[in-house]
A and B are shown apart, each in its own frame.
Chain A
């Protein structure tokens, strides 16, 4: 069912510069050529009855309710499938049409309860609304005729149920699965009266290839497919537009609320990242917000060995402030710091860094982006001048060649993957570079042209080889390079790229990708005309993460694939606000807008606005904080929304550092691993309980709106303000909009952003200022932000993490659709129906050598530690490579990860760990539930 109050125009908009004028019931209306009659009528405020048509799907023409009369045409054309023609005169009402529509409705209702009280949607489904609209009150067909009322309900999916007896076979669900989601899990089986919607090969929904995105549920016009939450709670009375708190796609949702309860989340049709689509997490997995594990009262304890004591907010904040002050007095101003989170709003992250810089008086603030996309920021800022993706998501619809590197969009960024798949089904070519065969490689109507199955850790060698082909085969876009890039650097780089050691043949020995494939992929990429790169943590979480980002920049610049729609370099950000938390100054060396703290002019502006002196020296990065804690020079930490004890590499080292600190304040919605070392716990608010903004992977700032009251009484920004006030630095905001106003005043790229404008436009892509008052979908048009683009030499240097006879395999990691990172949220929802445990994927060759069978237990040992899990023997991974997800804490990811990190940003090398895998009889003991929930993954973010 559509969201309440959604207007449905019947068919999708058509993109045409040609306008056509028609008359609908005497009303003149002008629409784009190709627009359907039903949409033209809807735009003229004439509602034509319909059931199978909806404006998110291509017209289908099956229900036959939208029939109209068109002057000069025979019969009754269906208005959904008939495009407008100039001068057309359309009649939507006549005695004959009324009778026809009523008789069609009568046929529908001859196989459906006509009584609205029997409707599970309380008579508010489109079917009953149409019956009303056409005036059907009585069915003349005898009630002993054939019907579908005996068909059993499929309740297998945790979130929605399918009642085939209520299905009208309009195919909206099937078409939504095909056209919107691209999974093709549903079909109509049988023909004629026996036609029936079935999942998979007539299986239960849960057993089919359904990915539970819910597009079918949203598309269903009857009570056949309904959210279980809506069945239970009834119809919502209001809808609040907000932004999803899971991944970096940042889908816009309408939270439908009845009283103080969420009835369901419906993706917002007007949402620009997602255009009304969603995945299983955003639409359904929000139940964690009201899970009993939520902490509702502040707590303190003197020693971490003491039990927690519930206290008032005032007491907790006063205690925390006093402790921070004590530590600063005793060990120095720089002995404390804070960590912001990519899960928090821009306003919250801004306040935490402001607290550190203004109230603590140092720059010891860092963010969890350190461990995921920091190389993206470094690389793209260095090459182009802006540390962010170059495009909007919709740009992919104009791409002719799509290269996906080290990312698994169908699992990690499912809604964007659907948009990408649609483009691929319409003919774009696909290059996949990944150590493992991802789903995108081959799915309905999509098949990759090139699969470059490289050895983990060799991205740079692969990109260098691709640019070698570009440079040596005359494929450089000379015009672009001459006009847009630094000439000297280019000349130098060109010579480097052309060197024999960067040839595909040389790279084959490093990457294990056949040279011919590298050549083919490079040629395809150069040929375009529009080629776009999409990448994930498979690029960044390496010792050469920043180099790889620079190498991709070289590839895009050399082929001229920047500065317009359909091209660009696009990081797929893992968390909802990775981009935003970085934008608002979460790094120790940068204030908002990525401006270095040593810049005295800029710093002066902040000093004036904040009325404090700001330290001109960069503060500590997260790993430095741990080292300093063990040195005895860093002993107080405020951590908001981030479980560093689980997420950061080398767990033992982190645990020792945290144990050494004298005051740790954890500000989170659940008890977590870090809280084990904390002295103060401040209960947080989920994204449903607060106001603010998130900035997604396409630099799009979207509003987060308060849907439910804050469970612990305070929104997170209020908590940070209160802590700052307790520390003696006043923060006095009455609403997050004032925080955004302050960011806008102090940050040129945000100058034009305000809540008023966000409410008006829906969302804004920064930069937004006088030059671009409504924001910037595509960056670097005409000129790079830094002026000329920079070609930097990207020498491949193998990681120190080498395989050896003791550790002959490389372990790499990823995530799956239904779970989110460490599962703190998703494991407290119905998503537990999927992915019962993490498994180790291993190639049959490696498995056989070790006597490992499918589903048998294995031990994975690295130089750092050992974990145990079950094996899955598969050719998705190459020989020599093993793979796992880390959604389940038992897996204990960071027990095996090493301390290697990116040379430029310290982003940990989570994606490459040399391991040995051996069968084991040992079956690891299940961890206690609280530990299960709180544990973390290093890999996925």
Chain B
């Protein structure tokens, strides 16, 4: 491209595509062609402001200027108004970086998402990519692990286990073959941070996994990607090919003399395969059922070998941590929750999207200030934090800080950072039933409390709703939830009682119980 061409950005991530980004991009190309305008159409990732997608950006003299949400019908008027000069238009959003929703974030992990061409290695490096790897190559495995430990990074997949401890465990294993496995089976409802980063900046994940491989002595990496993410598959595949061609992956990683190869494996649609041991089974070509622990995967994981299993966001946070030091990362956050977390706002919310910020903001600030309240405009009734296994919190609890310990202390979990908002029309008894039904649908069927309990849970809640021996059945539901919590083999059966019991506790009237009686149910 000549220096004369004007960069126009139209996202290629699946959310934007589902909102018509492909058609918009085509329309822009056609329009530019018909006008003889010299543009470079770049398909970037999403900035995460979904109510503005497809959001088109143009590099103007004053910086990148945004327009959105753009439809095909708007394209001509945008060109007429002077899109390529960053001129004003009814869809103009001003300088992208100045949009408050973006400006108030602390984008460490998502630093490049939406800015670069996701499959351009050149772009990645130009925007600070592979600085972490360069630093890591000069360090010993133990030093890298020490840096991760110092960052206090905890697993972003949901369990929040300190990444440094996990890595050290694998590093300490004396085994000729170790693995790094990235859990990209992002199945929680209302979450999409993994997808966004894989579609918007796949190299950061590749770099993170490569550093993990160097750190623990693993020569092979696998990304276990859910099959429902075809666009992520495409960007990741292109990025792995580019990294391999450029010598960032392969027998000699970036001249380090050490090997690291990376492959993608597709899941087959089972939620349970997002649980790390079921995922390892699936990776080995078996049915995705839970393995008991111990042994931990860090000691005996994939094919029985020591394996680091981390979520996409955890691994994607590594390059910045190594490049800028664990200490810098640790400076963000509160309490034992350090660094930043990409929160995903969804459900009945005016401004849904992804929001990366340091731990510590309250749920209310997130939902009201950034999310703009309910999309329906009706009063908010409940918020489910942490995906389908997270608790339902009533409005009265929204002053909780977003912090692993605080949310857990309130009987919930932060999980993978999904926040789903419900307005006053929500029936929480139905949501409790749905939680059991979800568990019944997705249970691997191995352990009894989950296999039989979730199905019985649906039946018991149905009887409560239908007012058949309601009192006895509420008692039975409580017993069942206790059994599932204490007895289940993994978090699916073990945490399903969270949404069920929180719904019963905070919204007893939806179950036909008096407020006082429901509250006493805890």
A702 CB–B CB distance under 8 Å? no
Q: Which of A96, A100, A107 contacts B456 (CB 8 A)?
A: A107
B-contacting 9-mer, from A183-191, A215-223, A359-367, A417-425: A183-191
Residues of A within 8 Å of B287, CB to CB, are: 187-188
Q: Considering residues A64, A99, A141, which has the most beta carbons from chain B within 10 angstroms of its beta carbon? A: A64
Q: Is the CB of B448 within 8 A of A63?
A: yes
* A82 and B489 alpha carbons, distance in the complex (Å): 13
Q: Is the CB of A100 within 8 A of B451?
A: no
* A168 and B455 alpha carbons, distance in the complex (Å): 15
A61 CB–B CB distance under 8 Å? yes
Residues of B within 8 Å of A107, CB to CB, are: 448-449, 452-453, 456, 483
Within residues 171 to 213 of chain A, which ones have a CB less than 8 A from any CB in chain B? 171, 187-188, 190-195
B269-294: CB near A (< 8 Å → 1, else 0) gives: 01010000000000000010100111
CB distance from B95 to the nearest CB of A (A): 50
A104 CB–B CB distance under 8 Å? yes
Within residues 53 to 98 of chain A, which ones have a CB less than 8 A from any CB in chain B? 59-64, 67, 75-76, 78, 81-83, 96
Q: Is the CB of B441 within 8 A of A192?
A: yes
- Given known pairs A191-B445, A192-B451, the reply for A104 and B487 (CB within 8 Å) is yes
Residues of A within 8 Å of B456, CB to CB, are: 107, 110, 141, 145
Q: Is the CB of B448 within 8 A of A64?
A: yes
Q: Considering residues B272, B476, B486, which has the most beta carbons from chain A within 10 angstroms of its beta carbon? A: B486
* A398 and B284 alpha carbons, distance in the complex (Å): 26
Within residues 440 to 458 of chain B, which ones have a CB less than 8 A from any CB in chain A? 440-456
CB distance from A143 to the nearest CB of B (A): 11
B245-275: CB near A (< 8 Å → 1, else 0) gives: 0000000000000000000000000101000
* A191 and B446 alpha carbons, distance in the complex (Å): 8
Q: Is the CB of B454 within 8 A of A192?
A: yes
CB distance from B446 to the nearest CB of A (A): 5
Residues of A within 8 Å of B440, CB to CB, are: 192-193
Q: Is the CB of A191 within 8 A of B452?
A: no
Residues of B within 8 Å of A171, CB to CB, are: 446
* A168 and B447 alpha carbons, distance in the complex (Å): 10
Q: Which of A59, A67, A110, A169 contacts B292 (CB 8 A)?
A: A59
B463 CB–A CB distance under 8 Å? yes
- Given known pairs A107-B483, A140-B476, A193-B443, the reply for A145 and B448 (CB within 8 Å) is no
Q: Is the CB of A62 within 8 A of B455?
A: no
Q: Which chain A residue has the least Cβ–Cβ distance from B450?
A: A192
Residues of B within 8 Å of A59, CB to CB, are: 292
Q: Is the CB of B486 within 8 A of A194?
A: no
B298 CB–A CB distance under 8 Å? no
A103 CB–B CB distance under 8 Å? yes
B488 CB–A CB distance under 8 Å? yes
B479 CB–A CB distance under 8 Å? yes
Q: Is the CB of B459 within 8 A of A145?
A: yes
A111 CB–B CB distance under 8 Å? yes
Q: Which of A76, A82, A193 contacts B452 (CB 8 A)?
A: A193
Q: Considering residues B270, B456, B472, B479, which has the most beta carbons from chain A within 10 angstroms of its beta carbon? A: B456
- Given known pairs A169-B445, A195-B445, the reply for A103 and B482 (CB within 8 Å) is yes
CB distance from B450 to the nearest CB of A (A): 8
B480 CB–A CB distance under 8 Å? yes
B312 CB–A CB distance under 8 Å? no
A142 CB–B CB distance under 8 Å? yes
Q: Is the CB of A141 within 8 A of B489?
A: no
* A193 and B270 alpha carbons, distance in the complex (Å): 15
* A59 and B287 alpha carbons, distance in the complex (Å): 17
Q: Which of B442, B445, B479 contacts A188 (CB 8 A)?
A: B445
B83 CB–A CB distance under 8 Å? no
Q: Is the CB of A193 within 8 A of B480?
A: no
Q: Which chain A residue has the least Cβ–Cβ distance from B272?
A: A191
Residues of A within 8 Å of B270, CB to CB, are: 191
A146 CB–B CB distance under 8 Å? yes
B460 CB–A CB distance under 8 Å? yes
Q: Which chain A residue has the least Cβ–Cβ distance from B293?
A: A81
A493 CB–B CB distance under 8 Å? no
* A141 and B472 alpha carbons, distance in the complex (Å): 10
Q: Is the CB of A67 within 8 A of B486?
A: yes
Q: Is the CB of A142 within 8 A of B459?
A: yes
CB distance from A92 to the nearest CB of B (A): 15
* A81 and B291 alpha carbons, distance in the complex (Å): 10
Q: Which of A64, A110, A193 contacts B449 (CB 8 A)?
A: A64
Within residues 670 to 706 of chain A, which ones have a CB less than 8 A from any CB in chain B? none
CB distance from A127 to the nearest CB of B (A): 12
Q: Which chain B residue has the least Cβ–Cβ distance from A146?
A: B455
A755 CB–B CB distance under 8 Å? no
- Given known pairs A103-B479, A141-B459, the reply for A62 and B448 (CB within 8 Å) is yes
Q: Considering residues A59, A78, A104, which has the most beta carbons from chain B within 10 angstroms of its beta carbon? A: A104
CB distance from B236 to the nearest CB of A (A): 27
Q: Is the CB of A100 within 8 A of B442?
A: no
CB distance from A40 to the nearest CB of B (A): 16
Q: Is the CB of A67 within 8 A of B447?
A: no
A125-154: CB near B (< 8 Å → 1, else 0) gives: 000000000000000111001100000000
* A214 and B293 alpha carbons, distance in the complex (Å): 30
A729 CB–B CB distance under 8 Å? no
Within residues 727 to 774 of chain A, which ones have a CB less than 8 A from any CB in chain B? none
Residues of B within 8 Å of A81, CB to CB, are: 292-294
Q: Is the CB of B445 within 8 A of A190?
A: yes
Q: Is the CB of B447 within 8 A of A110?
A: no
* A388 and B454 alpha carbons, distance in the complex (Å): 59
* A60 and B272 alpha carbons, distance in the complex (Å): 17
Residues of A within 8 Å of B479, CB to CB, are: 99, 103
A108 CB–B CB distance under 8 Å? yes
* A191 and B487 alpha carbons, distance in the complex (Å): 18
Q: Considering residues A82, A103, A111, A188, which has the most beta carbons from chain B within 10 angstroms of its beta carbon? A: A103
* A104 and B270 alpha carbons, distance in the complex (Å): 25
Residues of A within 8 Å of B489, CB to CB, are: 61-62, 64, 78
Residues of A within 8 Å of B289, CB to CB, are: 188
Residues of A within 8 Å of B463, CB to CB, are: 142
Q: Considering residues B446, B450, B455, which has the most beta carbons from chain A within 10 angstroms of its beta carbon? A: B446
CB distance from B500 to the nearest CB of A (A): 16
Q: Is the CB of A78 within 8 A of B292?
A: yes
Q: Which chain A residue has the least Cβ–Cβ distance from B445?
A: A195
Q: Is the CB of A108 within 8 A of B292?
A: no
CB distance from A79 to the nearest CB of B (A): 11
Q: Is the CB of A145 within 8 A of B487?
A: no
* A187 and B468 alpha carbons, distance in the complex (Å): 38
* A62 and B487 alpha carbons, distance in the complex (Å): 10
* A798 and B408 alpha carbons, distance in the complex (Å): 81
Q: Which of A141, A142, A191 contacts B443 (CB 8 A)?
A: A191
CB distance from A186 to the nearest CB of B (A): 12
Q: Which chain B residue has the least Cβ–Cβ distance from A97?
A: B486
Residues of A within 8 Å of B443, CB to CB, are: 191-193
Q: Is the CB of B444 within 8 A of A192?
A: yes
Q: Is the CB of B445 within 8 A of A192?
A: yes
Q: Is the CB of A64 within 8 A of B451?
A: no
Q: Which chain B residue has the least Cβ–Cβ distance from A171?
A: B446
* A103 and B448 alpha carbons, distance in the complex (Å): 10
- Given known pairs A64-B448, A107-B448, A146-B455, the reply for A141 and B292 (CB within 8 Å) is no
Residues of A within 8 Å of B482, CB to CB, are: 99-100, 103
CB distance from A103 to the nearest CB of B (A): 4
Residues of B within 8 Å of A104, CB to CB, are: 448-449, 483, 487
Listed A/B pairs (19) with beta-carbon separation below 8 Å? A60-B446, A61-B446, A64-B447, A64-B449, A64-B489, A78-B292, A81-B293, A100-B482, A104-B448, A169-B445, A191-B272, A192-B440, A192-B444, A192-B445, A192-B450, A192-B451, A193-B451, A193-B452, A194-B445
Interface residues of B, Cβ cutoff 8 Å to A: 270, 272, 287, 289, 292-294, 440-456, 459-460, 463, 468, 472, 476, 479-480, 482-483, 486-489
Q: Which 4 A-B pairs have the closest CB atoms?
A: A195-B445, A61-B292, A192-B443, A81-B292
Identify 10 new A-B residue pairs, CB closer than 8 A, beyond the known A61-B292, A142-B468, A192-B443. A61-B447, A64-B447, A76-B486, A82-B294, A100-B483, A110-B452, A140-B472, A171-B446, A192-B445, A195-B451
